[in-house]
Structure formats: C-alpha cells, structure tokens
Structure 1
Amino acid sequence: MKQVKTLIAVIAFIFAGINLGQAQDAQPTKVCHVASQSLVESLPSAIAADKQLRNLAKTYETKLTAMDKELKTKYQNAQEAAPQRTQEENERILAELAEGQKKLEEYYQNSQTAMGQKRTDLLKPLYKKVREAIFAVARRKGFDYVLDSTTGTGIIMADGYDLTNDVKAELGIK
C-alpha cells in the first residue's frame, strides 16, 4: 500500500513538472546582463568625484606627513636632551610624545572614516542614477531580470544579451 502511494506521488510530481515546463514555455523569462560598475565609472560625474576624492586624500596625507615629521623631530630632540633632564621631565616628555602618537593615529582613523563617507556621499547618487537607467532600459526592452556581470558579483558566465551599451545610451555616455 505504501509503495502505491509513493508511485502515485511520483506520477503526480512528474505531471506537475511537465505542466510547469509547458507554462514556462508559454511565457519565457527574458534575462540579460549589465556591467553596472563600468557604467558608474563611465559617468563624467564619477570621474569628477574620483578627482575630488584624490584631492581630499592628498590633503589628509599632507597633514599626516606634517604631524608625523613634527612627532619624529620632537622624539629626536627628546632623545638628545634626555641626559641633561631629570627622570620626571623625561617621563613627562615621553607621555607628551605618546599623546602625540595617539593623536596621529586618531587623525589617520578619522581621515579614513571621512574618506569613506565622502566616497559614499559622492557615489550613492551615481549608483541610483545608473540603477534607474537600467530599470528603464530593461523594462522598455521587455526583460524580466537583469544580472550584474561586474567582476566579483557572482556571475560566472554572461553569454546573454548585454544591456550595458543600451544603458550607456540612456545615460548619454559615449
């Protein structure tokens, strides 16, 4: 009796699969791919944002270099003058140098955080613009799904229709 129930279940499953396959054949799903990162990098505003980020990085780097040089000079001067000072004075100066090193590290961490936030602030609207253009073009061309073929996004093979040039045209990118 159990084998008959199993056989009936298998037959029902096979027929359901055949019906599902026929339903999918009636309305095939259209899939294409696009390299979204390439689109963002092609935007003139992305090039300007990159330049702005490089300039900000140079500003932070200049400040960090100056702070580091000043700290090294103080340390060198402290080493040279250490024999003429008392133990208490040397300890106080070492504490000041340690505080300077801490400030240098904090400035570095804050600069990295600020750079990340600035990058997000500059690029978020560009990603939104590209995403909206992808949606518009894909809908206009009748695609149901758009896969991102940017390296590292999980697409191993992308032989389907590449929507990238159509979206570039939508964005006015040559």
Structure 2
Amino acid sequence: MMMKQFKTLVIAALMIVGASQAAQAQAKTAHVDVADLMSKMPAMLDAQKQLEKLSTTYDTEYKTMVEEYQNKLKKYEQEASTVTDAVNETRSKEVQDMQKRIVDYRDNAQKELQQKEADIVKPIMERVKASIQKVGKAKGYQYILNSEGLLLADGPNITADVKKDLGF
C-alpha cells in the first residue's frame, strides 16, 4: 500500500515533462528521489511507528480471540459425547458466532489500519509535494521528475535541497 501512495504522490506532486522534444530541450529540469525522502523523513518514521503500534494492538486482540475460540472448540469437542444434542447444537451456534466475530474483527481492523495510514500519510505527502514545488520554483526549474524509474538522470538532483526545506 505504501508503494501505491508513493506513486500517487509522484503523480500528484511532480509535473510531467512536456510532450515535444523541443520543449524538453529548452526546459530546465531536475529530479528528486521521493522514496528516499519519504523513507527518511522524521514525520514519516513517526507515522510508521504509530501504525506499527496500532497493528500490534490489533494483532494481539485478534490472537486472543482466536485462542479463546480454539480453547472453547477443543473443550466442546471433548464434551460432545457427554452432553445432550440440544447443548451441542447451542454450542455449535456459539462457535459459529465466535468465528464470525473473529473474521469481522480482522476485516474491520484491516480497514481501520488502512484508513489510519491514509489519514497519517496524506498530510506528509502534501508537505513533501509543497516542498518539492517550493524548492523547484526557487531554483528555476520548470519540471521536476521522480528519480525512481528514470533511465537517465543527468540533471540536478534536488533531493538534498528538499530534505533541507523539510527540516531534516
């Protein structure tokens, strides 16, 4: 998911080189390594820690639920021959309900984690985009490309300048 967001940032943050070769030849271009910026940016590192903590919380709760389910299932299987059919039927329904709650919890936890990631990362990406634009304009560049995917990067690399602008 993080790579998709990097690509989205790149698309949203960087201007694409003009269509004609003549325009490219006259345009002043530079490149920036967005992946490097994002991976080393203190705000992004903090965001990753927050997301890891939340993920660990969800994982712990999920494991607890699964353990309770497995223990109950084992107990009910051992006692199945010693209780009435009505009790076994009730227990079977209870186990199915537990299964559903576990699956629902897992699905909701994944959705919440993805939403939290989007909420945390979006302002960071917007900040990076604004900084790239600011540095690019200050240095007189018409086009700034992402270093990732470039086959030739002869122009100036402004990654260090953007890091400085972002304060790290």
Q: Using structure 1 for the length normalisation, give the TM-score.
A: 0.78
Name the CA shift for 1:59/1:24 in 2 (closer, same or farther; >3 Å).
closer
CA distance in 1, matches of 2:133, 2:104: 42
| Among candidates 86, 89, 95, match of residue 88 of structure 1 | 86
1:166 paired with 2:155, answer: no
Q: Distance in 2 between matches of 1:78 and 1:164?
A: 61
- AA aligned to 1:119 is E
The equivalent residue for 2:134 is 136
Q: Which has the larger radius of gyration?
A: 1
Q: Once the two structures are superposed, what CA deviation does each residue of 1:88-113 show, in whole Å capped at 9, x if it has no partner?
A: 32122111111101110110011111
The residue aligned with 1:56 is 54
C-alpha deviation, 1:157, in angstroms: 3.5
Question: For structure 1, which runs of at least 5 residues remain unmatched after alignment?
Answer: 1-19
Name the CA distance, whole Å, in 2 between partners of 1:87 and 1:159: 78
2: CA distance, partners of 1:95 / 1:156? 60
Q: Which of 8, 29, 32 does residue 31 from structure 1 map onto?
A: 29
The one of 60, 66, 69 aligned to 2:67? 69
Q: Secondary structure at the match of 1:147?
A: strand
Change (3 A) 1:62 1:24: closer
Q: Distance in 2 between matches of 1:30 and 1:36?
A: 19
The ranges of structure 1 where at least 4 consecutive aligned residues each deviate by more than 6 angstroms after the TM superposition are: none
What do the CA deviations read for 1:18-69 (whole angstroms, capped 9, x no partner)?
xx97x759x8111221111221222212111111111111111110011000
Where does the alignment leave 5 or more consecutive residues of structure 2 unmatched? 1-19
Q: How many residues in Structure 1 have an aligned counterpart in Structure 2?
A: 149
Q: Secondary structure at the match of 1:146?
A: strand
Alpha-carbon distance between aligned partners in 2 of 1:143 and 1:24, rounded to the nearest angstrom: 13
Which of 92, 101, 104 does residue 103 from structure 1 map onto? 101
Give 1:86 shift.
2.0
The match for 2:152 is: 157
Counterpart-to-counterpart distance in 2, 1:24 and 1:69: 64
Alignment match of 1:148 (pick from 146, 149, 153): 146
- The AA in structure 2 aligned to 1:77 is K
Between 1 and 2, higher relative CO (CA 8 Å, sep ≥ 6) is seen in 2
- Write out per-residue CA displacement over residues 103-141 of structure 1, whole angstroms, 9 at most, x where no aligned residue: 101100111111111111111111111100000111111
Over the matched positions of the two proteins, sequence identity in percent amounts to 34
Alpha-carbon distance in 2 for matches of 1:105, 1:172: 43
Opposite residue 34 of structure 1, the aligned amino acid is: V
Give the direction of change, closer, same or farther, for the CA distance of 1:57–1:78 in structure 2 (3 Å limit): same
Counterpart code for 2:67: K
